Amino acid sequence: MGISKHPSVVTMPEAEKPYPSILAFLSRRFPAISPETWEQRIVDGKVLDEQSRQLTLDSQYTPLSRLFYFREVTSEPFIPFAEKVLFIDDEILVACKPHFLPVTPGGRYVDECLLNRLRRSTGIGDLVPLHRIDRETAGIVLFSVNKKSRGRYGELFMNGHIEKTYQAVSACLPTQEPASWAVENRLERGEPWFRMEAVPGRVNARSVIRLDTVNGVMARFTLQPLTGKTHQLRIHMGGLGFGILNDRYYPELQAERADNFATPLQLVAKNIRFNDPITGGSRAFTSDRELL
C-alpha cells in the first residue's frame, strides 16, 4: 500500500440544496474509488477540513470549502527515469522531468511523482509546483521554495508573463505552406473525463506552432503556448493534422495499455523565460532532453 505523506485537496463546488453528503460528493468526484473505500477513509480520520479537523460521516457539505485527504494506492508503478534539478535558490527550484512521471500525485501514483521525489531529495517539505505538464511530457517544471514569495511567481503564470517553448515530433508531414500556424479555439473537458475537446464558444486556448525541419518521415516543430489549458498543444497539433508521435489520447483515443517506456510521447517542454519578480532580472532555463 502506498500512502502519501502530504495531503491532496479538493474544493466542494456550489450545489443546489439539499446538499449532498461528504461521502456522496467524494464518491462522485472520484469514481475510481469505491464509496466503501471513501467511507472507511472518513471513519479512519483520513479526510480533513481546512482547519485540519477530522471529518465524520455526519459532517456537512460546505460549498467552496476545501477538503484534504491522503492518497492511497494498493500498488504503484515505478518510473525508471531520473529527474534533474537545473537550478535552486531561496525562492524557486527548476527541474527537468522525464517522460511518464507525473508532476503531482494522481491516479496510480503517490510517491512516484516529481513533487515527492524532489521533496525527498532536497528535504524541502513545502515545495509546491507553480505549473504542471502532462505525465507523458518531459521537460521544464518550475517550483516555489518560499511560501512568502509564492504568490509573486504564481502571478507570472496567471497573467501570462511566462514564455514557454516546446518541441514536438510528428510522423505526419506538411504537404504545403505555411510553415507556421496561429491556432486558437475553445477547449473544455470532454469524454472520457481525462480528454479535452475543442468546442464552439469564446476562445480560451492559443498556440503558435512552427515547422522547423523535415527529416525523412518525421517533422520537427517548435510550439509556443500563449495560454495554459490542459492538453492544449496536443489538441492543437492534432487539429492541424500533425498528431504528435506516440500520443495515445489525440487525435484519437487509443485502447488503454501499460506504458511502453521505449515509445515516449515526442513532446518536451524545452525552454522557460520570465522576469524574476524578486530580483527583477531575466531568467531562462533550457531542458537538455532530446526527441527523436
The residue ranges of every structural domain in the chain are 2-73, 84-162+274-286, 165-267
Say whether pLDDT at 72 is over 90. Answer: no
* Matching CATH number, 2-73, of 3.40.1450.10, 3.10.290.10, 3.90.1150.10, 2.40.110.10: 3.10.290.10
Q: What is the pLDDT of residue 279?
A: 94
- Cβ-based neighbours of 47, under 8 Å, separated by 6 or more: 22, 26, 38, 41, 54, 55, 67, 68, 69
Question: For residue 178, is the peptide bond before it cis, meaning its omega torsion is within 30 degrees of 0?
Answer: yes
Q: What is the pLDDT of residue 175?
A: 80
Question: The domain 84-162+274-286: what is its CATH number?
Answer: 3.30.2350.10
Three-state DSSP at 157 gives helix
**4 or 215: which leads in pLDDT:** 215
Q: Which triple of cell numbers denotes residue 288?
A: 537538455
Each residue of 178-235: pLDDT tens digit? Answer: 799 999 999 999 988 889 999 999 999 999 999 999 988 999 999 999 999 999 999 9
Q: Which residue type occupies 254?
A: Q
Q: What is the pLDDT of residue 1?
A: 58
Say whether pLDDT at 2 is over 70. Answer: no
Three-state DSSP at 41 gives helix
Q: What is the pLDDT of residue 3?
A: 75
- Helix axes of 35-43 and 22-29: crossing angle, nearest 10 degrees: 130
Please answer whether residues 98 and 78 qualify as being in contact, where contact means their C-beta atoms are separated by less than 8 angstroms: no
| CATH architecture group of domain 165-267 | 2-Layer Sandwich (3.30)
Q: What is the pLDDT of residue 8?
A: 86
pLDDT, the chain, mean: 94
84-162+274-286 and 165-267 share one CATH topology?
A: yes
- Cβ-based neighbours of 179, under 8 Å, separated by 6 or more: 210, 211
Each residue of 92-148: pLDDT tens digit? Answer: 999 999 999 999 988 888 889 999 999 999 999 999 999 999 999 999 999 999 999
218 membership: H or E segment, kind and range:
strand 218-225
